[in-house]
Amino acid sequence: MTAYPELEAAKAAWRHQPPPQCLSGKAILITGAGDGMGRALAKTAALHGANLILLGRTRAKLEAVFDWISEHTRTRPVIVPCDLSHLGPSSAESLQSQARAEYGRLDGLVHNASVLGPKIPLAHYPMSEWEEVVRVNLSAAATLTQALLPLMLETAATHAKQGSILFTSSSVGRKGRAYWGAYAASKFAVEGLMQVLADECAAEGALRVNSLNPGGIRTAMRRQAYPAENPADAPPPEARLDLYIHLLSDAAEGVNGQALDARTWPGVS
């Protein structure tokens, strides 16, 4: 019996089969690593050799991922309980110090944590909830990126390898849809942030910056967005991980400024 049957089942159908240790020695920070897509990515990236900084809101969830990774891989994770709705420049800066102290490097940054917010007409959307969705989905990603950029650039220079920054998008971040309010608007803005940063990084080439839409996957957010749907109709997160692992690995060197879709990759999205 394999330790991670959902991954084994999904991996057989992956369009791209990354080499087993393609993330070996890399240090990668994943936000929202305690649940859903972030948890699946954390376990899978560790199985591919990455040392992970697991950032999330709920300590117990992060500890469970930490325990699994420690038991099933040879990598060395650390956990960082952090509510991104309160992330300011100084706490983001201390995250950089922590990454430096733990690993002395940072090769990858995955902005995965998000909140859905209410699915209601704009006319009735409470602005306090709007602001929270934008803080978590957009502003925290910008603040974290800004604080971690120096360490990522240093890492790229020292190891002569491009670093990778991944923003998580959504179908409604590429085409607006009624009642998706702040979530859709924040995901459109995330695409804009990705394009700005990718363009800033293009000339030097030390970092690649891309966005990725995982498509509908069986997680708590999906259940919240589609309460009437049979959860079994959506694939598990592991089914969409091949693109994530590829973009974090050296095989994706030079892929920059792309808005990718895990369902259609490597075809045209």
Site membership for ligand NAP, residue 48 (CB under 6 A): no
Does the footprint of ligand NAP cover residue 10 (CB under 6 A)? no
Q: Is 108 in the site for ligand NAP (CB under 6 A)?
A: no
In the complex, what is the shortest distance from the CB of residue 161 to ligand NAP, in angstroms, rounded to a whole number? 26
Burial of 63 (0-12, 13-18, 19+ CB in 10 A): middle
Q: Is 108 helix (H, G, I), strand (E, B) or coil?
A: strand
Q: Which of 23, 26, 34, 243 binds ligand NAP (CB under 6 A)?
A: 34
183 part of the active site: yes
Contact characters 200-219, ligand NAP, x per CB under 6 A: -------------xx-xx-x
Chain residue whose CB lies nearest ligand NAP: 36
Fill in the DSSP letter of residue 73: -
Nearer to ligand NAP, 38 or 77 (CB): 38
**Catalytic entry in 4, 103, 183, 226:** 183
Q: How far apart are CA 101 and CA 224, in angstroms?
A: 38
Under the criterion CB under 6 A, does residue 220 sit at the interface with ligand NAP?
yes
Greatest CA separation for the chain: 52
Closest residue by Cα to residue 43 from 15, 23, 17 = 23
Helix (H) or strand (E) holding 81: strand 78-81
CB of 194 to ligand NAP, least distance (A): 13
Residue 199 CB neighbours (<10 A): 12
Instruction: Dig out the tokens for 73 from the structure.
Output: 């891989």
Q: Is 241 in the site for ligand NAP (CB under 6 A)?
A: no
| 170 binding ligand NAP? (CB under 6 A) | yes
Our finding on whether 181 is near ligand NAP (CB under 6 A) is: no
DSSP string, 149-194: HHHHHHHHHHHT--EEEEEE--GGGTS--TT-HHHHHHHHHHHHHH
Length of the chain: 269
By CB under 6 A, tell whether 129 contacts ligand NAP. Answer: no
Beta carbons of 92 and 148 less than 8 angstroms apart: yes
| Between 120 and 153, CB nearer to ligand NAP | 120
Q: Which chain residues interact with ligand NAP by CB under 6 A?
A: 32, 34-38, 56-58, 61, 82-85, 112-115, 136, 168, 170, 213-214, 216-217, 219-222
Q: What positions carry a catalytic annotation?
A: 183
